[in-house]
C-alpha cells in the first residue's frame, strides 16, 4: 500500500463573517436594553386580625397627612398648618406658596424644635454622626380618593421621595463630605437610619365627591 498523502482541503471560511453578522443583526433587533424604573415602595403585611388594624396609633404631631382628592387637588396638613395645591404642577411651589418638598423637609427635620412638628428623640448613629436628635417617629400618610388620577398620586409620591433624597444628600454632605451617591454601602445605611422613609399609604377614603 503506497502511502498517499491526501491533503484535506481547507474549508472556505470567508462567509463566516457574513453569517455571524446576520446573527448579530437579529439579536440587535430583538434585544431590549431598556431597564424598567420606578418608585420603590414597601407595603405593610396584611392585617392578621381586626384588633391589630385598630392598634396603630400615631400622635397627632408626628403625622403629616397628604390628601389627594378626586379633582387631583392636594392638601398637605400637619399640626402647624395646611397647604393646598390645586394641581400637580403647583407642587413645585409658586408665589406665596411653599413647595411640597420643603414642607416635607421641614416636617421631617423639625429644626426649630416646634411642639407642632414631630417629636425629636436623641439617637446614636455611630461615628461620625454621633448622637443627634431626630424625628424617628414621624409618619407621612398619603391618602387618596377612589377616583384620583394615578399620575397625580405618582407626582405626590415623587415629591415626598425627592424631599427624602435631598435630606439624605444634605446629611451625606454634612457628615461625610460627599454626595449620597458616592457613599459606601455602610455609610448609606447610616444615612438611611438617620432619615428613614416612613411613608404610609392608607386605604382609600372618599374625599371630595368621588363616588
Partner 1 sequence: MGKFNKSGKRDMPALNTSSLPDIVFAVLFFFIITTTLRSETLMVRMKLPTASEVQKLEKKSLVTYINIGPPLDTRLGTGTQMQLNDKFAQVTDIQNYIAQEKASMNEADQPLMTVSIKADENTRMQYITDVKQALRQAYALKISYSARKGEN
- Least distance (Å) from partner 1 to the CB of residue 63? 20
Integer Cα distance of 183 and 193 in angstroms? 14
Report in angstroms how near the CB of residue 64 gets to partner 1 at its nearest. Answer: 18
Beta carbon nearer to partner 1, 151 or 179: 151
Q: Tell me if residue 81 falls in helix, strand or coil.
A: strand
Q: Which residue number, 153 or 175, has a Cβ lying nearer to partner 1?
A: 153
Contact 181, 188 (CB under 8 A): no
Q: 137 vs 162, which CB is nearer to partner 1?
A: 162
Closer Cβ to partner 1, 34 or 186, answer by number: 34
User: In this structure, what DSSP letter does residue 95 have?
Assistant: T
Least separation, in Å, of the C-beta of 60 and partner 1?
A: 25
Q: What DSSP designation does 49 have?
A: S
**131-134/121-124 β-pairing:** antiparallel
Match 416646634 to its residue by C-alpha cell: 114
Question: Phi/psi at 120 (nearest 5 deg)?
Answer: -90, 130
C-alpha to C-alpha distance for 7 and 4, rounded to whole angstroms:
9
Q: Identify which of residues 92 and 116 has a Cβ nearer to partner 1 in the complex.
A: 92
Report the SS3 class of residue 110: coil
Query: What's the min distance (Å) between Cβ of 125 and partner 1?
Result: 23
Residues that bind partner 1 (CB under 8 A): 13, 16-17, 20-21, 23-24, 27-28, 30-33, 35-46, 68, 88, 91-92, 144-151, 153-155, 157-159, 161-162, 165, 201, 203-204
Minimum CB separation from partner 1 for residue 68, in Å?
Answer: 8
Q: How far apart (Å, rounded) are the C-alpha atoms in residues 140 and 206? A: 19
Amino acid at each position: 500500500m503506497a502511502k498517499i498523502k491526501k491533503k484535506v482541503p481547507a474549508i472556505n471560511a470567508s462567509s463566516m463573517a457574513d453569517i455571524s453578522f446576520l446573527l448579530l443583526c437579529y439579536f440587535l433587533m430583538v434585544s431590549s436594553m431598556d431597564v424598567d424604573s420606578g418608585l420603590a415602595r414597601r407595603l405593610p403585611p396584611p392585617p392578621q386580625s381586626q384588633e391589630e388594624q385598630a392598634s396603630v396609633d400615631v400622635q397627632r404631631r408626628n403625622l403629616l397627612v397628604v390628601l389627594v382628592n378626586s379633582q387631583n387637588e392636594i392638601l398637605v396638613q400637619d399640626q402647624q398648618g395646611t397647604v393646598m395645591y390645586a394641581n400637580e404642577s403647583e407642587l413645585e411651589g409658586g408665589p406665596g406658596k411653599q413647595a411640597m418638598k420643603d414642607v416635607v423637609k421641614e416636617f421631617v427635620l423639625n429644626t426649630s424644635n416646634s411642639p407642632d412638628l414631630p417629636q425629636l428623640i436623641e439617637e446614636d448613629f455611630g461615628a461620625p454622626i454621633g448622637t443627634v436628635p431626630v424625628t424617628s417617629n414621624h409618619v407621612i400618610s398619603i391618602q387618596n380618593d377612589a377616583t384620583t388620577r394615578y399620575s397625580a398620586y405618582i407626582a405626590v409620591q415623587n415629591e415626598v421621595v425627592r424631599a427624602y433624597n435631598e435630606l439624605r444628600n444634605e446629611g451625606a454632605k454634612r457628615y461625610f463630605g460627599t454626595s449620597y451617591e458616592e457613599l459606601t454601602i455602610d455609610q448609606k445605611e447610616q444615612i438611611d437610619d438617620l432619615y428613614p422613609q416612613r411613608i404610609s399609604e392608607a386605604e382609600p377614603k372618599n374625599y371630595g365627591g368621588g363616588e
